[in-house]
Structure 1
Amino acid sequence: MLGLTDNTTWLDDKSKGDFRIRVSDIERTIWITGISAYPGKLTALYSHFPVMTGSFVANWIESQRALSHRLFSLIADDSSATSESDRRTAYAEYRANSDPSESHYIYHLNSIIVPMSLLFKPMYVYEGTSAMNYAGLGALYAQLQIKMIDTVGVQFNEQRQLVSWMTEGPMARYNAKVNCFFSRESQVSLYAEVKNLQMKNKFDFTRNQERPLIVGFQADGQR
Protein backbone atom coordinates (compact mmCIF):
# COMPACT_ATOMS: atom_id res chain seq x y z
CA MET A 1 0.00 0.00 0.00
CA LEU A 2 2.82 2.41 0.84
CA GLY A 3 4.49 1.64 -2.47
CA LEU A 4 1.30 2.44 -4.37
CA THR A 5 0.88 5.66 -2.41
CA ASP A 6 4.48 6.79 -2.98
CA ASN A 7 4.10 6.28 -6.74
CA THR A 8 0.74 8.04 -6.99
CA THR A 9 0.87 11.38 -8.79
CA TRP A 10 -2.39 12.93 -7.56
CA LEU A 11 -1.25 12.98 -3.89
CA ASP A 12 1.14 15.70 -2.74
CA ASP A 13 4.11 15.02 -0.48
CA LYS A 14 2.33 16.27 2.66
CA SER A 15 -0.58 13.86 2.17
CA LYS A 16 1.77 10.98 1.37
CA GLY A 17 3.78 11.66 4.52
CA ASP A 18 0.73 11.82 6.77
CA PHE A 19 -0.67 8.64 5.25
CA ARG A 20 2.65 6.84 5.77
CA ILE A 21 2.49 7.77 9.46
CA ARG A 22 -1.09 6.50 9.68
CA VAL A 23 -0.20 3.17 8.07
CA SER A 24 2.87 2.74 10.27
CA ASP A 25 0.88 3.61 13.41
CA ILE A 26 -1.92 1.12 12.90
CA GLU A 27 -2.72 -1.00 15.96
CA ARG A 28 -3.31 -4.75 15.71
CA THR A 29 -5.34 -6.61 18.29
CA ILE A 30 -6.14 -10.30 18.54
CA TRP A 31 -9.27 -10.91 20.58
CA ILE A 32 -11.05 -13.99 21.88
CA THR A 33 -14.15 -15.49 20.29
CA GLY A 34 -15.72 -18.91 20.60
CA ILE A 35 -13.61 -19.88 23.63
CA SER A 36 -16.78 -19.98 25.77
CA ALA A 37 -17.66 -23.24 24.01
CA TYR A 38 -15.01 -24.84 26.24
CA PRO A 39 -15.41 -23.25 29.72
CA GLY A 40 -12.51 -23.58 32.11
CA LYS A 41 -9.95 -24.01 29.34
CA LEU A 42 -8.98 -20.36 28.85
CA THR A 43 -6.32 -20.34 31.59
CA ALA A 44 -4.79 -23.55 30.27
CA LEU A 45 -4.79 -22.14 26.75
CA TYR A 46 -3.04 -18.92 27.79
CA SER A 47 -0.35 -20.82 29.68
CA HIS A 48 0.90 -22.06 26.30
CA PHE A 49 0.41 -18.77 24.44
CA PRO A 50 3.68 -17.06 23.36
CA VAL A 51 4.62 -13.57 24.51
CA MET A 52 3.73 -11.15 21.70
CA THR A 53 7.01 -9.25 21.47
CA GLY A 54 8.07 -9.81 17.86
CA SER A 55 6.80 -8.52 14.54
CA PHE A 56 3.20 -9.05 13.50
CA VAL A 57 4.17 -11.88 11.13
CA ALA A 58 6.40 -13.57 13.72
CA ASN A 59 3.68 -13.30 16.36
CA TRP A 60 1.15 -14.72 13.93
CA ILE A 61 3.27 -17.77 13.11
CA GLU A 62 4.17 -18.54 16.73
CA SER A 63 0.58 -18.05 17.89
CA GLN A 64 -0.74 -20.28 15.14
CA ARG A 65 1.69 -23.02 16.06
CA ALA A 66 0.91 -22.85 19.78
CA LEU A 67 -2.84 -22.75 19.32
CA SER A 68 -2.91 -25.45 16.67
CA HIS A 69 -1.15 -27.94 18.94
CA ARG A 70 -2.55 -26.95 22.32
CA LEU A 71 -6.19 -26.39 21.40
CA PHE A 72 -6.23 -29.52 19.27
CA SER A 73 -5.33 -31.62 22.32
CA LEU A 74 -7.76 -29.76 24.60
CA ILE A 75 -10.67 -30.36 22.25
CA ALA A 76 -9.74 -34.01 21.91
CA ASP A 77 -9.91 -34.36 25.71
CA ASP A 78 -13.24 -32.54 25.98
CA SER A 79 -14.88 -34.52 23.22
CA SER A 80 -13.60 -37.90 24.48
CA ALA A 81 -12.28 -38.50 21.01
CA THR A 82 -10.63 -41.88 20.59
CA SER A 83 -9.43 -41.65 17.00
CA GLU A 84 -7.65 -39.18 14.73
CA SER A 85 -10.87 -38.76 12.77
CA ASP A 86 -12.78 -37.84 15.95
CA ARG A 87 -10.08 -35.38 16.94
CA ARG A 88 -10.26 -33.63 13.59
CA THR A 89 -14.04 -33.55 13.75
CA ALA A 90 -13.94 -31.87 17.17
CA TYR A 91 -11.34 -29.43 15.88
CA ALA A 92 -13.52 -28.55 12.88
CA GLU A 93 -16.53 -28.02 15.14
CA TYR A 94 -14.57 -25.53 17.21
CA ARG A 95 -13.46 -23.64 14.12
CA ALA A 96 -17.08 -23.43 13.01
CA ASN A 97 -17.71 -21.21 16.03
CA SER A 98 -15.43 -18.54 14.59
CA ASP A 99 -16.17 -16.19 11.73
CA PRO A 100 -13.74 -13.88 9.85
CA SER A 101 -16.59 -11.36 9.58
CA GLU A 102 -15.99 -10.69 13.27
CA SER A 103 -12.78 -8.93 12.23
CA HIS A 104 -12.98 -5.16 12.22
CA TYR A 105 -11.09 -2.00 11.32
CA ILE A 106 -11.88 0.77 13.82
CA TYR A 107 -11.56 4.02 11.90
CA HIS A 108 -11.11 6.55 14.70
CA LEU A 109 -8.68 4.31 16.60
CA ASN A 110 -6.79 3.23 13.47
CA SER A 111 -6.94 -0.31 14.79
CA ILE A 112 -7.41 -3.73 13.20
CA ILE A 113 -9.06 -6.36 15.41
CA VAL A 114 -9.14 -10.05 14.47
CA PRO A 115 -10.49 -13.00 16.49
CA MET A 116 -7.96 -15.37 18.00
CA SER A 117 -9.77 -18.30 16.39
CA LEU A 118 -8.35 -17.20 13.04
CA LEU A 119 -4.99 -18.45 14.27
CA PHE A 120 -6.08 -22.06 13.77
CA LYS A 121 -5.24 -24.03 10.67
CA PRO A 122 -8.16 -24.52 8.27
CA MET A 123 -9.05 -28.20 8.09
CA TYR A 124 -8.98 -28.31 4.31
CA VAL A 125 -5.26 -27.44 4.28
CA TYR A 126 -4.29 -29.24 7.49
CA GLU A 127 -1.18 -30.63 5.82
CA GLY A 128 -0.72 -27.60 3.56
CA THR A 129 2.26 -25.33 3.03
CA SER A 130 2.90 -22.21 5.07
CA ALA A 131 1.61 -20.08 2.19
CA MET A 132 -1.66 -22.02 2.18
CA ASN A 133 -2.03 -21.71 5.94
CA TYR A 134 -1.25 -18.02 6.27
CA ALA A 135 -2.54 -16.53 2.99
CA GLY A 136 -6.04 -16.19 4.42
CA LEU A 137 -4.84 -13.84 7.15
CA GLY A 138 -2.93 -11.75 4.63
CA ALA A 139 -6.02 -11.31 2.46
CA LEU A 140 -8.18 -10.46 5.48
CA TYR A 141 -5.60 -8.02 6.84
CA ALA A 142 -5.32 -6.25 3.47
CA GLN A 143 -9.10 -6.04 3.21
CA LEU A 144 -9.29 -4.34 6.60
CA GLN A 145 -6.27 -2.09 6.10
CA ILE A 146 -7.57 -0.75 2.79
CA LYS A 147 -10.41 0.87 4.72
CA MET A 148 -7.95 3.61 5.64
CA ILE A 149 -8.53 5.07 2.19
CA ASP A 150 -12.27 4.57 1.78
CA THR A 151 -14.72 7.44 2.16
CA VAL A 152 -14.69 7.13 5.96
CA GLY A 153 -11.02 6.34 6.48
CA VAL A 154 -9.76 9.50 4.78
CA GLN A 155 -11.61 11.59 7.38
CA PHE A 156 -9.28 10.65 10.27
CA ASN A 157 -5.71 11.94 10.36
CA GLU A 158 -2.61 10.29 11.78
CA GLN A 159 -3.40 11.75 15.22
CA ARG A 160 -6.82 10.03 15.28
CA GLN A 161 -8.63 13.33 14.86
CA LEU A 162 -11.68 13.83 12.67
CA VAL A 163 -9.64 15.72 10.11
CA SER A 164 -8.74 14.47 6.64
CA TRP A 165 -5.13 13.39 6.21
CA MET A 166 -5.28 14.70 2.64
CA THR A 167 -4.58 18.34 1.86
CA GLU A 168 -7.15 20.40 -0.04
CA GLY A 169 -5.88 19.70 -3.57
CA PRO A 170 -5.59 15.91 -3.30
CA MET A 171 -8.88 15.76 -1.39
CA ALA A 172 -10.70 17.43 -4.28
CA ARG A 173 -9.15 14.96 -6.73
CA TYR A 174 -10.01 12.08 -4.40
CA ASN A 175 -13.66 13.18 -4.20
CA ALA A 176 -13.81 13.37 -7.99
CA LYS A 177 -12.54 9.81 -8.24
CA VAL A 178 -14.90 8.55 -5.52
CA ASN A 179 -17.86 10.15 -7.29
CA CYS A 180 -16.99 8.13 -10.37
CA PHE A 181 -17.43 4.96 -8.31
CA PHE A 182 -21.18 5.57 -8.21
CA SER A 183 -21.31 4.60 -11.88
CA ARG A 184 -21.30 0.85 -12.46
CA GLU A 185 -19.68 1.47 -15.83
CA SER A 186 -16.80 3.44 -14.34
CA GLN A 187 -13.31 1.95 -14.49
CA VAL A 188 -11.59 4.85 -12.74
CA SER A 189 -8.78 3.83 -10.41
CA LEU A 190 -7.42 5.59 -7.34
CA TYR A 191 -4.07 4.24 -8.48
CA ALA A 192 -4.35 4.70 -12.22
CA GLU A 193 -0.59 4.27 -12.61
CA VAL A 194 -0.90 0.56 -11.77
CA LYS A 195 -2.17 -1.46 -14.73
CA ASN A 196 -5.08 -3.86 -14.32
CA LEU A 197 -5.99 -2.55 -10.87
CA GLN A 198 -9.24 -0.75 -10.21
CA MET A 199 -10.74 0.13 -6.88
CA LYS A 200 -14.48 0.55 -6.46
CA ASN A 201 -16.90 1.20 -3.67
CA LYS A 202 -19.49 -1.46 -2.98
CA PHE A 203 -22.88 -0.33 -1.74
CA ASP A 204 -25.55 -1.73 0.51
CA PHE A 205 -29.01 -0.88 -0.81
CA THR A 206 -30.83 -2.11 2.30
CA ARG A 207 -33.76 0.17 3.16
CA ASN A 208 -33.22 2.09 -0.07
CA GLN A 209 -30.11 3.82 1.24
CA GLU A 210 -26.72 3.89 -0.43
CA ARG A 211 -24.11 3.30 2.22
CA PRO A 212 -20.41 2.82 1.37
CA LEU A 213 -19.16 -0.44 2.84
CA ILE A 214 -15.65 -1.10 1.67
CA VAL A 215 -13.16 -0.35 -1.07
CA GLY A 216 -12.55 -3.53 -3.03
CA PHE A 217 -10.11 -4.72 -5.65
CA GLN A 218 -10.85 -5.62 -9.25
CA ALA A 219 -8.08 -6.98 -11.44
CA ASP A 220 -8.03 -7.63 -15.20
CA GLY A 221 -11.68 -6.70 -15.41
CA GLN A 222 -12.68 -9.69 -13.24
CA ARG A 223 -14.27 -9.59 -9.79
Structure 2
Amino acid sequence: MELSDYRSKIYRLMFGLAAVYNVAFGVWACFWPGALFATLEMAPPNYPSLWQCLGMVVGLYGLLYAYAALRLDRAKLIIAIGLAGKILGPIGMFMTVRSGEWPLRAVTLIVFNDFVWWLPFTLFLLDETRIGQAVRASAPWICAILNAVAAVVMLFVLRGGTEAVSSVTQRATYTAGHALLWRTGWSVWMMAGISLVAFFAWWGAWISSHRLALVALAVALAGLICDLFAESLLIGWLPDRIG
Protein backbone atom coordinates (compact mmCIF):
# COMPACT_ATOMS: atom_id res chain seq x y z
CA MET A 1 0.00 0.00 0.00
CA GLU A 2 1.41 3.37 -1.04
CA LEU A 3 2.19 5.96 1.61
CA SER A 4 -0.58 8.58 1.56
CA ASP A 5 0.09 12.31 1.48
CA TYR A 6 -1.45 12.76 4.93
CA ARG A 7 0.63 10.02 6.53
CA SER A 8 3.72 11.40 4.82
CA LYS A 9 3.11 14.73 6.52
CA ILE A 10 2.77 13.04 9.90
CA TYR A 11 6.01 11.12 9.45
CA ARG A 12 7.81 14.25 8.31
CA LEU A 13 6.54 16.03 11.43
CA MET A 14 7.64 13.22 13.73
CA PHE A 15 11.07 12.79 12.17
CA GLY A 16 11.54 16.55 12.17
CA LEU A 17 10.76 16.63 15.88
CA ALA A 18 13.17 13.76 16.44
CA ALA A 19 15.85 15.69 14.59
CA VAL A 20 15.31 18.83 16.67
CA TYR A 21 15.31 16.85 19.91
CA ASN A 22 18.47 14.91 19.10
CA VAL A 23 20.41 17.96 17.98
CA ALA A 24 19.29 19.89 21.08
CA PHE A 25 20.23 17.01 23.36
CA GLY A 26 23.58 16.65 21.62
CA VAL A 27 24.37 20.34 22.09
CA TRP A 28 23.32 20.14 25.75
CA ALA A 29 25.51 17.10 26.39
CA CYS A 30 28.50 18.57 24.55
CA PHE A 31 28.53 22.03 26.08
CA TRP A 32 27.15 21.19 29.53
CA PRO A 33 28.30 17.61 30.19
CA GLY A 34 27.60 17.82 33.90
CA ALA A 35 24.09 19.24 33.64
CA LEU A 36 22.24 15.94 33.37
CA PHE A 37 24.08 14.45 36.33
CA ALA A 38 23.37 17.51 38.44
CA THR A 39 19.69 17.33 37.48
CA LEU A 40 19.54 13.66 38.47
CA GLU A 41 21.44 14.45 41.69
CA MET A 42 24.30 12.16 40.69
CA ALA A 43 28.02 12.59 41.10
CA PRO A 44 29.59 14.32 38.07
CA PRO A 45 31.17 11.94 35.54
CA ASN A 46 34.84 11.14 35.99
CA TYR A 47 35.39 11.49 32.26
CA PRO A 48 32.98 14.16 30.96
CA SER A 49 34.56 13.93 27.51
CA LEU A 50 32.96 10.50 27.09
CA TRP A 51 29.54 11.99 27.74
CA GLN A 52 30.34 14.77 25.30
CA CYS A 53 31.23 12.18 22.65
CA LEU A 54 27.91 10.47 23.26
CA GLY A 55 26.23 13.83 22.78
CA MET A 56 27.94 14.17 19.42
CA VAL A 57 26.62 10.77 18.35
CA VAL A 58 23.10 11.70 19.44
CA GLY A 59 23.36 14.98 17.56
CA LEU A 60 24.54 13.16 14.46
CA TYR A 61 21.45 10.98 14.61
CA GLY A 62 19.48 14.22 14.59
CA LEU A 63 20.96 15.13 11.23
CA LEU A 64 20.03 11.71 9.91
CA TYR A 65 16.46 12.11 11.13
CA ALA A 66 16.30 15.48 9.40
CA TYR A 67 17.36 13.79 6.16
CA ALA A 68 14.73 11.09 6.75
CA ALA A 69 12.06 13.77 7.15
CA LEU A 70 13.06 15.28 3.82
CA ARG A 71 13.46 11.99 1.96
CA LEU A 72 10.91 9.49 3.23
CA ASP A 73 11.65 7.28 0.24
CA ARG A 74 15.17 6.72 1.60
CA ALA A 75 14.36 6.82 5.31
CA LYS A 76 13.67 3.19 6.21
CA LEU A 77 17.23 2.14 7.01
CA ILE A 78 17.84 5.28 9.07
CA ILE A 79 14.62 4.82 11.02
CA ALA A 80 15.25 1.09 11.50
CA ILE A 81 18.70 1.76 12.97
CA GLY A 82 17.29 4.58 15.08
CA LEU A 83 14.53 2.33 16.42
CA ALA A 84 17.05 -0.40 17.26
CA GLY A 85 19.05 2.13 19.26
CA LYS A 86 15.94 3.35 21.04
CA ILE A 87 15.11 -0.21 22.07
CA LEU A 88 18.64 -1.05 23.18
CA GLY A 89 18.94 2.20 25.13
CA PRO A 90 16.27 1.33 27.72
CA ILE A 91 17.67 -2.20 28.01
CA GLY A 92 21.08 -0.77 28.88
CA MET A 93 19.50 1.74 31.25
CA PHE A 94 17.57 -1.04 32.99
CA MET A 95 20.83 -2.88 33.58
CA THR A 96 22.56 0.20 35.01
CA VAL A 97 19.60 1.00 37.28
CA ARG A 98 19.42 -2.60 38.46
CA SER A 99 23.13 -2.58 39.26
CA GLY A 100 22.77 0.66 41.20
CA GLU A 101 25.02 2.69 38.91
CA TRP A 102 22.16 5.01 37.89
CA PRO A 103 19.04 5.98 39.86
CA LEU A 104 15.54 5.25 38.63
CA ARG A 105 15.16 9.02 38.33
CA ALA A 106 16.82 8.61 34.91
CA VAL A 107 13.52 7.22 33.60
CA THR A 108 12.66 10.75 32.45
CA LEU A 109 15.65 10.63 30.12
CA ILE A 110 14.59 7.25 28.71
CA VAL A 111 11.01 8.40 28.16
CA PHE A 112 12.04 11.27 25.91
CA ASN A 113 15.18 9.80 24.36
CA ASP A 114 13.63 6.48 23.46
CA PHE A 115 10.14 5.49 24.56
CA VAL A 116 8.12 8.21 22.82
CA TRP A 117 9.67 7.37 19.45
CA TRP A 118 8.84 3.67 19.42
CA LEU A 119 5.35 4.10 18.00
CA PRO A 120 6.00 6.53 15.10
CA PHE A 121 9.21 4.78 14.07
CA THR A 122 7.56 1.35 14.14
CA LEU A 123 4.46 2.53 12.27
CA PHE A 124 6.62 4.04 9.55
CA LEU A 125 8.52 0.80 9.06
CA LEU A 126 5.24 -1.16 8.92
CA ASP A 127 3.27 1.45 6.98
CA GLU A 128 3.14 -0.36 3.65
CA THR A 129 2.47 -3.80 5.14
CA ARG A 130 -0.76 -5.55 6.10
CA ILE A 131 0.24 -5.25 9.74
CA GLY A 132 0.49 -1.49 9.40
CA GLN A 133 -2.90 -1.35 7.71
CA ALA A 134 -4.44 -3.44 10.49
CA VAL A 135 -2.92 -1.23 13.20
CA ARG A 136 -4.29 1.92 11.54
CA ALA A 137 -7.74 0.37 11.23
CA SER A 138 -7.79 -0.65 14.88
CA ALA A 139 -6.28 2.60 16.25
CA PRO A 140 -9.51 3.92 17.85
CA TRP A 141 -10.18 0.58 19.52
CA ILE A 142 -6.64 0.33 20.87
CA CYS A 143 -6.91 3.87 22.19
CA ALA A 144 -10.28 3.16 23.81
CA ILE A 145 -9.05 -0.04 25.46
CA LEU A 146 -5.86 1.52 26.80
CA ASN A 147 -7.68 4.52 28.22
CA ALA A 148 -10.35 2.28 29.78
CA VAL A 149 -7.58 0.25 31.41
CA ALA A 150 -5.93 3.48 32.59
CA ALA A 151 -9.22 4.59 34.17
CA VAL A 152 -9.52 1.28 36.03
CA VAL A 153 -5.88 1.56 37.14
CA MET A 154 -6.54 5.05 38.48
CA LEU A 155 -9.54 3.83 40.45
CA PHE A 156 -8.02 0.69 41.93
CA VAL A 157 -4.24 1.23 41.89
CA LEU A 158 -3.33 4.92 41.87
CA ARG A 159 -6.22 6.52 43.72
CA GLY A 160 -4.70 5.95 47.16
CA GLY A 161 -1.74 8.17 46.31
CA THR A 162 -3.66 11.00 44.64
CA GLU A 163 -5.63 14.02 45.83
CA ALA A 164 -8.70 11.76 46.04
CA VAL A 165 -7.31 11.01 49.50
CA SER A 166 -7.40 14.17 51.58
CA SER A 167 -4.56 13.28 53.95
CA VAL A 168 -1.11 14.02 52.57
CA THR A 169 0.39 11.58 55.06
CA GLN A 170 -1.90 8.77 53.90
CA ARG A 171 -1.06 9.51 50.27
CA ALA A 172 2.65 9.40 50.99
CA THR A 173 2.32 6.18 52.98
CA TYR A 174 0.34 4.53 50.18
CA THR A 175 2.79 5.58 47.48
CA ALA A 176 5.87 4.49 49.42
CA GLY A 177 4.28 1.19 50.42
CA HIS A 178 3.06 0.33 46.91
CA ALA A 179 5.95 1.69 44.85
CA LEU A 180 5.89 -1.06 42.21
CA LEU A 181 2.12 -0.77 41.68
CA TRP A 182 2.41 3.02 41.64
CA ARG A 183 5.10 2.98 38.96
CA THR A 184 3.32 0.35 36.89
CA GLY A 185 0.06 2.30 37.04
CA TRP A 186 1.63 5.49 35.76
CA SER A 187 3.38 3.51 33.03
CA VAL A 188 -0.07 2.41 31.86
CA TRP A 189 -1.13 6.05 31.83
CA MET A 190 1.88 6.88 29.65
CA MET A 191 0.79 4.29 27.10
CA ALA A 192 -2.77 5.59 27.21
CA GLY A 193 -1.54 9.14 26.57
CA ILE A 194 0.52 8.08 23.59
CA SER A 195 -2.48 6.19 22.20
CA LEU A 196 -4.52 9.42 22.33
CA VAL A 197 -2.01 11.12 20.05
CA ALA A 198 -2.23 8.10 17.72
CA PHE A 199 -6.02 8.53 17.77
CA PHE A 200 -5.67 12.17 16.69
CA ALA A 201 -3.47 11.02 13.80
CA TRP A 202 -6.10 8.42 12.81
CA TRP A 203 -8.93 10.94 13.12
CA GLY A 204 -7.12 13.40 10.87
CA ALA A 205 -7.32 11.01 7.94
CA TRP A 206 -11.13 11.17 8.09
CA ILE A 207 -11.64 14.93 7.95
CA SER A 208 -11.39 17.14 4.90
CA SER A 209 -8.80 19.58 6.25
CA HIS A 210 -5.49 17.85 6.78
CA ARG A 211 -4.00 21.16 7.88
CA LEU A 212 -6.48 21.33 10.75
CA ALA A 213 -5.71 17.71 11.59
CA LEU A 214 -1.99 18.42 11.78
CA VAL A 215 -2.59 21.45 14.02
CA ALA A 216 -4.71 19.29 16.34
CA LEU A 217 -1.98 16.64 16.32
CA ALA A 218 0.66 19.23 17.21
CA VAL A 219 -1.46 20.48 20.14
CA ALA A 220 -1.94 16.88 21.30
CA LEU A 221 1.81 16.30 21.10
CA ALA A 222 2.47 19.39 23.22
CA GLY A 223 0.03 18.10 25.83
CA LEU A 224 1.61 14.65 25.69
CA ILE A 225 5.06 16.09 26.42
CA CYS A 226 3.72 17.71 29.60
CA ASP A 227 1.89 14.52 30.62
CA LEU A 228 4.88 12.26 30.08
CA PHE A 229 7.20 14.59 31.93
CA ALA A 230 4.92 14.68 34.96
CA GLU A 231 4.31 10.93 34.87
CA SER A 232 8.03 10.21 34.61
CA LEU A 233 8.54 12.27 37.77
CA LEU A 234 5.78 10.35 39.53
CA ILE A 235 7.49 7.09 38.51
CA GLY A 236 11.14 7.92 39.02
CA TRP A 237 11.21 10.60 41.69
CA LEU A 238 8.20 10.58 44.00
CA PRO A 239 8.43 7.12 45.64
CA ASP A 240 12.10 7.66 46.52
CA ARG A 241 11.40 11.13 47.89
CA ILE A 242 8.78 9.94 50.35
CA GLY A 243 10.05 6.41 50.98
The structure with the largest helix share of the pair is 2
Give the TM-score normalised by structure 2: 0.29
Q: Which structure has the greater CA radius of gyration?
A: 1
Give the TM-score normalised by structure 1: 0.31
The structure with the largest strand share of the pair is 1
